[in-house]
């Protein structure tokens, strides 16, 4: 019992000590200690102690700034060598001579964000959960220049070099193609960034650039190769942090940058291979930026076979020889015309001479694997060079650019799939598959090279020991007996009815293929690769080899090596109605 009282006494004493310490701290807060130290350093005997406050009038209301409660020497040049937080704040724009930024009027929060109402260190710096305006330290404060100054002109604002760099990088890295910033870009395939600075803190923006899925697991933004350059990422993040709808001051009345001069981009007047190369690279021409930047996603090989560029989209070394001029121009302007599920944004802003220059550059790419005509390349070598970036080095459909392709490339490690469809592979390689990223290789590969590639694929798939036998079935026609006539009623197949097919589709197919038949059903992303087919893709469905009989077999027997199961529990009439519905909606899509 005595030991219990001793323990209670010790705990009570500790509590009293903590209470006394807390009272002393409250009576002598950190800012008071800073102020006493400042007066000591400046030789002031009885300085005024207390909270220092500046009220800044803005269009959004009054901005409270108490930062100089601790940063006492911010406007005192004699405090240049004082310890922080008492040190003098150097001129924001030393190149102007007399700096128009008077910290007695604008305070600190205008440039550095944070929580101007607080006087506690961590609270004032915005270092607590969910505070959107964490402190912008050092050069990161350049993100705040756009709160007052017009920053989207041809002229760069002196003293904001990092912001200026980010402004140019937004175009050079082709961010503009997907994202919208009012007055700068009108991309439609990614979140709008006009108010990014108010919505997100700098750390979030940096993280989202470097690893897009870090904050949004379903993000389709590519992970660009240039994000390993921290200076590039930081400059771009500063530019995005500067994007705010609500300005502190009307830019037309700011002391610098009085006129809003929209940025002028280089316009190609006479097409050439070199200008096309610069446009492809996103390089400036005669000091003006070009709105290109294909290199950020696409790659190409020089004549030595060395690969240059991004790893997020198909290699374009062979694009001209595969697709031709008309296709390339159309695809640049309207990518979804030929691949409705592509993630590639539209570059419809490019004029005819820009398009001609890009085509000229792609036409100049002449690399082929068979430069040594005395050598016979194996199927594995051909596959590795031409196929692996999409279908993967392991033939599993997970190549380095596969994630941004829709539909995803086929998985050739599944013996069931290869055994069932290998006879189609040669045609698919030669002619490509419309509506998908699979291009025609007939102008690049000879028939014997395609044969060796197919043989290599088959040899790999055979390592999968799964047994497979494909039934041979034919699609019934109107008037034929119903396959599932349970009670021998003498049911006969009728003409397919697409309206009944819609009801059956919603009942049996929509969970994977989606209510809209776009392949985005609620179960789609829980399935093993490949994902369900987009049945609105008229480019795919209107190919000669996508017959009703093929659709019938795929529904009845399933698609081996994929999550598509057999539906042999359905009547033939139901399957034919579903096929009629699929044809109807894909026809409607092609007419739009």
Q: What is the CATH number of the domain that holds 224?
A: 1.10.760.10
Q: Is residue 203 part of a domain?
A: yes
- Residue 467 confidence class, pLDDT cut points 50, 70, 90: confident
Shared-domain flag, residues 279 and 318: yes
Per the structure, the complete domain to which residue 553 belongs is given by 498-591
- Mean pLDDT over 152-179 rounds to 90
pLDDT, position 127:
86
Domain membership of residue 557 (yes or no) is yes
Please give the structure tokens belonging to residue 308: 């240059």
Determine, yes or no, domain membership for 5. Answer: no
Confirm whether 153 is domain-assigned: yes
Together in a domain, 229 and 277: no
- Of the ranges 44-48, 49-53, 498-502, the best mean pLDDT one: 498-502
CB neighbours of residue 525 within 10 Å: 10
**Which among 87, 79, 84, 70 has a CA at the least distance from the CA of 33?**
70
480 within domain boundaries: no
Task: Give the integer Cα–Cα distance in Å for 153 and 137.
Answer: 26
Contact 236, 166 (CB under 8 A): yes
- Residues 164, 212, single domain; the answer is yes
247 with 326, same domain: the answer is: no
Report yes or no: 350 and 332 within 8 Å, Cβ to Cβ: yes
Residue 436 lies in a domain: yes
What is the number of structural domains in the chain?
5
Assigned domain for 415 exists: yes
Comparison of pLDDT for 536 and 259, the residue scoring more: 536
Handedness of CA 396, 328, 340, 174 (dihedral sign): positive
Same domain, 227 and 316: no
Cβ neighbour number for residue 399 with a 10 Å cutoff: 20
Q: For 279-291, what is each residue's pLDDT tens digit?
A: 999 999 998 999 9
Average of per-residue pLDDT across 553-568: 93
Partnered with residue 504 across adjacent β-strands are: none
* Res 529: pLDDT: 78
Residue 255 has pLDDT above 60, yes or no: no
With 70 as the cut, is the pLDDT of residue 142 above it? yes
Note whether 52 and 86 are same-domain residues.
yes
Cα 217 to the chain's mean position, in Å?
Answer: 11
At 258, the pLDDT band (50, 70, 90 cuts) reads very low
The domain boundary residue, chosen from 225, 253, 281: 253
User: Do 147 and 238 fall into the same domain?
Assistant: yes
The beta strand positions in 130-229, using DSSP E, are 180-181, 185-186
pLDDT at residue 299 in the model: 95
Please, which residues have CB within 8 angstroms of residue 405's CB and are 6 or more apart in sequence?
Answer: 390, 436, 437
Mean pLDDT of 3-19: 73
* pLDDT classification of 57: cutoffs 50, 70, 90: confident
Over residues 251-276, the mean pLDDT reads: 75
Once rounded to an integer, what is the mean pLDDT over residues 523-527? 89
SS3 label, residue 300: strand
pLDDT of 409 strictly over 60: yes
Q: Same structural domain for residues 344 and 412? A: no
pLDDT over threshold 60, residue 2: no
Q: Is residue 522's pLDDT more than 70?
A: yes
Q: Which of 177, 122, 118, 169 is nearest to 297 (CA)?
A: 177
Band of residue 535 on the pLDDT scale cut at 50, 70, 90: very high
Is 265 part of any domain? no
Please give the pLDDT value at position 263: 78
Compute the distance between CA of residue 220 and CA of residue 214 in angstroms, rounded to an integer. Answer: 12
- Point out the domain boundary residue: 297, 330, 363: 363
The mean pLDDT of the chain is: 89
| In a shared domain, residues 234 and 147 | yes
At 375, is the pLDDT very low, low, confident or very high (cuts 50, 70, 90)? low
Question: Looking at residue 592, what is its pLDDT?
Answer: 53
Percent of the chain with pLDDT over 70: 93
Residue % of the chain over a pLDDT of 90: 65
Question: Residue 252 pLDDT more than 60?
Answer: no
Q: Which of 54-58, 102-106, 139-143 has the highest mean pLDDT?
A: 139-143
> Out of 17-26, 42-51, 279-288, 468-477, which region has the weakest mean confidence (pLDDT)?
17-26
Do 359 and 386 lie in a common domain?
A: no
Average pLDDT (265-271) is 92
Say whether pLDDT at 500 is over 90.
yes
pLDDT computed for residue 27 by the predictor: 60
Same domain for 247 and 321, yes or no, is no
Least confident among 104-113, 209-218, 251-260? 251-260
Q: Distance between CA 493 and CA 574 in Å, rounded? A: 10
| Mean per-residue pLDDT, 171-191 | 93
Same domain, 503 and 562: yes
* pLDDT greater than 60 at residue 385: yes
Q: What is the 3-state secondary structure (H, E, C) of 515-570?
A: CCCCCCCCCHHHCCCCCCCCCCCHHHHCCCCCCHHHHHHHHHHCCCCCCCCCCCCC
Q: Is the pLDDT of residue 581 over 60?
A: yes
């Amino acid at each position: 019992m005595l030991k219990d009282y001793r323990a209670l006494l010790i705990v009570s004493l500790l509590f009293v000590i903590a209470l006394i310490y807390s009272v002393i701290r409250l009576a002598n807060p950190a800012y008071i200690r800073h102020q006493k130290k400042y007066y000591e350093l400046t030789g002031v005997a009885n300085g005024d102690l207390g909270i220092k406050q500046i009220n800044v009038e803005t269009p959004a209301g009054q901005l409270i700034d108490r930062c100089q409660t601790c940063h006492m020497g911010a406007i005192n040049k004699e405090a240049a060598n004082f310890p922080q937080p008492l040190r003098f704040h150097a001129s924001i724009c030393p190149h102007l001579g007399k700096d128009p930024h008077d910290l007695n009027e604008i305070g600190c929060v205008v440039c550095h964000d944070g929580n101007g109402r607080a006087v506690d260190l961590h609270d004032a710096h915005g270092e607590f959960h969910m505070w959107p305006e964490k402190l912008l330290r050092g050069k990161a404060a350049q993100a705040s220049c756009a709160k007052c100054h017009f920053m989207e002109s041809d002229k760069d604002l002196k003293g904001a070099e990092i912001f200026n760099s980010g402004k140019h990088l937004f175009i050079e890295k082709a961010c503009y193609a997907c994202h919208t910033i009012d007055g700068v870009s009108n991309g439609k395939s990614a979140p709008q960034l006009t108010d990014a600075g108010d919505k997100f803190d700098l750390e979030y923006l940096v993280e989202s650039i470097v690893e897009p899925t870090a904050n949004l697991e379903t993000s389709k933004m590519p992970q660009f190769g240039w994000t390993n350059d921290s200076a590039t990422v930081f400059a771009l993040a500063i530019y995005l942090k500067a994007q705010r709808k609500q300005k502190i001051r009307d830019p037309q009345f700011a002391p610098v940058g009085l006129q809003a001069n929209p940025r002028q981009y280089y316009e190609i007047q006479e097409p050439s291979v070199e200008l096309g190369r610069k446009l492809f690279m996103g390089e400036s021409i005669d000091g003006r930026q070009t709105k290109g930047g294909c290199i950020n996603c696409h790659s190409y090989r020089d004549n030595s076979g060395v690969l240059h560029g991004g790893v997020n989209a198909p290699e374009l070394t062979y694009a001209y020889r595969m697709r031709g001029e008309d296709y390339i121009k159309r695809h640049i302007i309207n990518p979804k015309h030929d691949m409705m599920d592509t993630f590639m944004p539209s570059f419809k802003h490019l004029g005819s001479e820009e398009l001609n220059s890009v085509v000229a550059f792609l036409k100049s790419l002449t690399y082929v694997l068979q430069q040594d005509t005395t050598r016979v390349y194996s199927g594995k070598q051909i596959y590795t060079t031409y196929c692996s970036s999409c279908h993967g080095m392991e033939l599993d459909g997970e190549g380095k650019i596969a994630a941004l392709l829709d539909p995803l490339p086929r998985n050739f490690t599944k013996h069931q799939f290869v055994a069932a469809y290998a006879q189609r592979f040669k045609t698919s390689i030669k002619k490509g598959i419309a509506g998908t990223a699979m291009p025609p290789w007939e102008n690049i590969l000879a028939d014997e090279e395609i044969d060796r590639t197919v043989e290599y694929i088959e040899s790999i798939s055979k390592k999968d020991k799964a047994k497979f036998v494909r039934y041979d079935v034919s699609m019934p026609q109107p008037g034929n007996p119903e396959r599932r006539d349970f009670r021998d009623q003498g049911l006969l197949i009728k003409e397919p009815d697409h309206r009944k097919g819609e009801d059956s589709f919603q009942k049996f197919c929509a969970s994977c293929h989606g209510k809209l038949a776009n392949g985005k059903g609620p179960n789609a992303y829980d399935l093993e690769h490949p994902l369900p087919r987009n049945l609105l893709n008229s480019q795919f469905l209107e190919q000669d080899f996508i017959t009703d009989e093929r659709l019938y077999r795929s529904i009845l027997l399933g698609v081996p090596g994929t999550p598509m199961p057999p539906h042999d529990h359905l009547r033939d009439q139901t399957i034919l109605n579903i096929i009629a519905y699929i044809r109807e909606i894909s026809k409607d899509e092609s007419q739009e």
